[in-house]
Amino acid sequence: MNPLRTIHSAFALPLHRFDERTFAHVFHPQHLGLVDPFIGVDVFNMPHNFFLPHPHGGMSAITYLLPQSPGGVRNRDSLGDDSIVAPGSLHWLQAGSGMVHEETPAVPGVAALGLQIFVNMTRAHKQHAPAVFKVPAGDVPVVQLAGASVRVVAGEWGGQASPIARDPRWVTRVNLLDVTLQPHADVRLTLPAGHQGFALVVTGQILESNRPLSLDIKAPAAMVFDAPVAGEGVTDLRLLAGAEGAQVVVFSGLPLQEPVVPWGPFVGTTRAEVAAYGQAFQAGAMGGLAPSFSR
C-alpha cells in the first residue's frame, strides 16, 4: 500500500447568506499555500435569481452541480454562451484575460445545489484568451470501488479521464473527484505524486482519516491535506464513512508556487496585475452582458 497522506486540519464550513434564500457554506482558507492551485469553494444553494453579470480574470470559476441537485443552473457569458448546467455536470470558465458571466437557477424557485470552485492560473496563462469547457453528467467517468463510487469530474484518476482532460486548452490541470461512500465504507484513494489539496465532506460523516488523532467530521466540513513530502511519490487518502455513508469531493493538483493576489473576481501575481484586470473590465475589454433579471 502507498503511505497515507496526513491531514493538516479539519473544520466545519461557515455559513454565508447572500440573502434570505440564497446561501453557501464557504471554504476560503487563509493559508492558500496548502491548497495551491485552488483558491476556494462555495457549497451553494441557489433557489432564485441573485448573481447579476460579473467579471473574472486571471483564474477559473467552475460550477459543479451535485448529482442530487433538484435543479440546474443557466449560464450566460460574454463569449455568447447561453446554456443549462444540469445536475452532475461540470461547467469550467477559464477566464484568462477576462470575461463576464451570469448564473441563475434554470427554473427560478427550484434550488440549484452545487460547488462554485475557484482555481488559479499561472502568470504565463493569465492573459490567455478566455475559454469554456463543459462536461455533461453522462460523460463523467465513474470508477467503482468496494464500498464507494468515484465520479472523475475533472482530471484523471483510476484509469479514467474526464473529457476536459483531453482538451489542450485546459491549462491548470487538477483532479476533482466526487466520492459517494456507503455506510461504514473504509476507502483509500490514491493522490498523485506532488499533489496537494483538500476534501469537502458534502453530506454524511467521516469518522477518521489519516492521522492518529480520531476525527469526527460532519458535513459541511473540510479536510486540508498536509503538504506532500519531497520525493515521497504517490500517497493514499483514507476515508472511513459513518453509519449514514458520506459524499466527499476531493480536490488535488500540482502547486503553481507563484504569488497569489486576489482582488474580488480577479486573481493576479501582483497588485498591478489585478488593477489591470479592473481597468480592462471598466473599459469593456472583457465584453458585455446585459442582465437577465433585476433586483
- 38, 59 Cβ separation under 8 angstroms: no
Distances (CA, A) of 164 to 155, 230, 285: 7, 28, 27
pLDDT digits (tens, 9 = 90+) for 46-88: 999 999 999 999 999 999 999 999 999 999 999 999 999 999 9
Identify the DSSP state of 135. E
> In which band, very low, low, confident or very high, does the pLDDT at 270 lie, cut at 50, 70 and 90?
very high
> In which band, very low, low, confident or very high, does the pLDDT at 285 lie, cut at 50, 70 and 90?
very high
pLDDT score at 231: 79
Q: Cα separation of 25 and 275, whole Å?
A: 29
Task: Concatenate the DSSP letters of all residues of 178-191 into one string.
Answer: EEEE-TT-EEEEEE
Average pLDDT score over residue span 215-239: 89
pLDDT score at 14: 96
Q: Cα separation of 157 and 189, whole Å?
A: 9
pLDDT score at 215: 63
Torsion of CA 85, 90, 93, 94, to 10 degrees: -170
Q: Does residue 212 register a pLDDT over 80?
A: no
- Average pLDDT along the chain: 94
Task: Give the SS3 label for residue 277.
Answer: helix
Q: Does residue 213 register a pLDDT over 60?
A: no
The residue extents of the domains of the chain are 7-282
Task: Give the SS3 label for residue 228.
Answer: coil
pLDDT digits (tens, 9 = 90+) for 89-139: 999 999 999 999 999 999 999 999 999 999 999 999 999 999 999 999 999
pLDDT score at 232: 82
CA 157, 64, 254: angle at the middle one, nearest 5?
Answer: 45
Q: How many CA atoms lie within 13 A of 63 on its CB side?
A: 28
User: 185-197: b or e for each residue (b if 16 or more CB lie within 10 Å)?
Assistant: bebbbbbbebbbb
pTM to 2 decimals?
0.95
Task: Give the SS3 label for residue 163.
Answer: helix
> In which band, very low, low, confident or very high, does the pLDDT at 209 lie, cut at 50, 70 and 90?
low
The CATH class for the domain spanning 7-282 reads: mainly beta
Which grid coordinates are listed for 199?
A: 476534501
> In which band, very low, low, confident or very high, does the pLDDT at 208 lie, cut at 50, 70 and 90?
low
Average pLDDT score over residue span 246-251: 98
The amino acid sitting at 141 is P
Q: Which strands make up the sheet holding 51-56, listed edge to edge?
A: 51-56, 99-105, 73-77, 82-85
Which grid coordinates are listed for 74?
A: 443557466
Q: Does residue 214 register a pLDDT over 70?
A: no
Q: Does residue 146 register a pLDDT over 50?
A: yes
